[in-house]
């Protein structure tokens, strides 16, 4: 088991990662006052793990899926915490994917102005990304993550044990964020290229998880509150990914990140910002994970939705992170019409390749 600590002004957050992390770390929580939040799928699959690790601690189960990331479920959690007699010395344990982590994290931040939080991520996406770094949120009025707080978990327990029950689609979502790290970090990129034929293997995922966490930890240490620019780089693929998310709805966050990266790499290449051979390798990695990249029929809508993105200071412009060469990327800002034209062009090139 490896570990690393994120030192931020608000809290030190230690991440324990590797086989056996769940058994070893939860054995130290046994005597504490705990409140567990999980979702219906995870509870069904891991009820016995929850019972053996946390004994009779209260367990609050939310329905599985993004639709639960709302303020009604948040209030239900807070109300259950109150009924269970959660105090300042209690620990909220978020046991599940990114949805559970985000909503339980926000509940922990709000209750009594903050109680201890332990994240136990059970999806690949939450292990490599959402459980680390202290961003918590719920969706509101159709806008993703618009109500939230920065709230660091005191501990994150990352055990590959849970990945064995993950459907392939969820592995694909996690690989979306992993390829994003690959476009930012030379070591992760090399590892992806070396293992391109076994991206879905347990062995690859176990190895790469820690590297992704280490990359994110370094970024969070430098820019915890997303104000210095470093943390923005983690949004690579997300401007266009979120635009697709609002348009298509059907897919999951990680799949939209893959799609968003495909379009944004195309844009970076077209603008002459990204080395062509490098862009082609990134595209090849994306296509190994997601076969069909959807076409954005309504490019005007894409620009309109991309404008909703929280990162954009001016609504007439759209900013995104453009990959340049191995380990290098830059933030670019485009007039909405230019962005719109490039999305339409990329969509046309996809259509022509399908023919």
Ligand X SMILES: NC(=O)c1ccc[n+]([C@@H]2O[C@H](COP(=O)([O-])OP(=O)(O)OC[C@H]3O[C@@H](n4cnc5c(N)ncnc54)[C@H](O)[C@@H]3O)[C@@H](O)[C@H]2O)c1
Binding stretches for ligand X (CB under 6 A): 39, 41-42, 45, 64-66, 69, 96-100, 102, 122-123, 125-126, 129-130, 133, 135, 144-145, 162, 165-166, 170, 173, 252-254
* Residue nearer to ligand X on the CB measure, 166 or 336: 166
Q: How far is the C-alpha of 182 from the C-alpha of 193, rounded, in Å?
A: 9
Helices assigned H by DSSP within 84-129: 98-110, 124-125
* Number of C-beta neighbours around residue 298 at 10 A: 15
* Number of C-beta neighbours around residue 70 at 10 A: 17
DSSP 18: S
* Residue nearer to ligand X on the CB measure, 95 or 204: 95
Which token pair is 86?
A: 């959660």
Antiparallel, parallel or unpaired: β 34-39 and 59-62: parallel
The distance of closest approach from Cβ of residue 162 to ligand X in the complex, given in angstroms and rounded to an integer, is 4
* Residue nearer to ligand X on the CB measure, 162 or 204: 162
The distance of closest approach from Cβ of residue 74 to ligand X in the complex, given in angstroms and rounded to an integer, is 13
Q: How far is the C-alpha of 258 from the C-alpha of 265, rounded, in Å?
A: 11
The distance of closest approach from Cβ of residue 124 to ligand X in the complex, given in angstroms and rounded to an integer, is 8
The distance of closest approach from Cβ of residue 144 to ligand X in the complex, given in angstroms and rounded to an integer, is 6
* Residue nearer to ligand X on the CB measure, 144 or 269: 144
* Residue nearer to ligand X on the CB measure, 129 or 224: 129
The distance of closest approach from Cβ of residue 126 to ligand X in the complex, given in angstroms and rounded to an integer, is 4
Q: How far is the C-alpha of 138 from the C-alpha of 98, rounded, in Å?
A: 11
Which token pair is 320?
A: 């995104």
- Residue 62: how many CA atoms within 13 Å on its side-chain side? 31
């Amino acid at each position: 088991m490896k570990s690393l600590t994120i030192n931020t002004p608000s809290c030190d957050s230690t991440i324990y990662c590797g086989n056996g992390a769940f058994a070893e770390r939860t054995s130290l929580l046994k005597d504490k006052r705990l409140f567990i939040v999980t979702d219906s799928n995870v509870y069904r699959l891991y009820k016995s793990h929850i019972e053996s690790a946390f004994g009779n601690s209260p367990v609050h189960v939310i329905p599985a899926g993004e639709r639960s990331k709302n303020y009604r479920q948040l209030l239900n959690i807070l109300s259950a915490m109150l009924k269970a007699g959660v105090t300042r010395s209690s620990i909220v344990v978020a046991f599940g994917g990114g949805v559970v982590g985000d909503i339980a994290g926000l509940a922990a931040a709000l209750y009594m102005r903050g109680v201890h939080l332990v994240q136990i991520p059970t999806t690949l996406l939450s292990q490599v990304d959402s459980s680390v770094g202290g961003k918590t949120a719920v969706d509101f009025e159709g806008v993703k993550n618009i109500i939230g707080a920065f709230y660091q978990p005191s501990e994150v327990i990352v055990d590959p044990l849970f990945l064995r029950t993950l459907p392939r689609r969820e592995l694909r979502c996690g690989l979306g964020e992993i390829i994003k790290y690959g476009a930012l970090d030379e070591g992760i990129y090399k590892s992806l290229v070396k293992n391109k034929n076994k991206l879905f293997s347990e062995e690859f995922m176990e190895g790469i998880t820690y590297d992704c966490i280490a990359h994110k930890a370094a970024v969070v240490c430098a820019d915890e509150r997303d104000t210095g620019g470093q943390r923005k780089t983690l949004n690579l693929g997300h401007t266009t990914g979120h635009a697709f998310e609002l348009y298509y709805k059907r897919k999951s966050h990680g799949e939209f990140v893959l799609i968003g990266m495909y379009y944004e790499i195309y844009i970076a290449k077209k603008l002459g910002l990204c080395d062509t051979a490098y862009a082609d390798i990134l595209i090849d990695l994306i296509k190994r994970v997601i076969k069909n990249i959807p076409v954005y029929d309504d490019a005007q809508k894409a620009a309109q939705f991309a404008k909703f993105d929280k990162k954009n200071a001016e609504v007439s412009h759209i900013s995104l992170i453009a990959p340049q060469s191995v380990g290098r990327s830059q933030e670019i800002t485009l007039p909405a019409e230019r962005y719109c034209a490039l999305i339409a062009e990329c969509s046309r090139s996809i259509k022509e390749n399908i023919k």
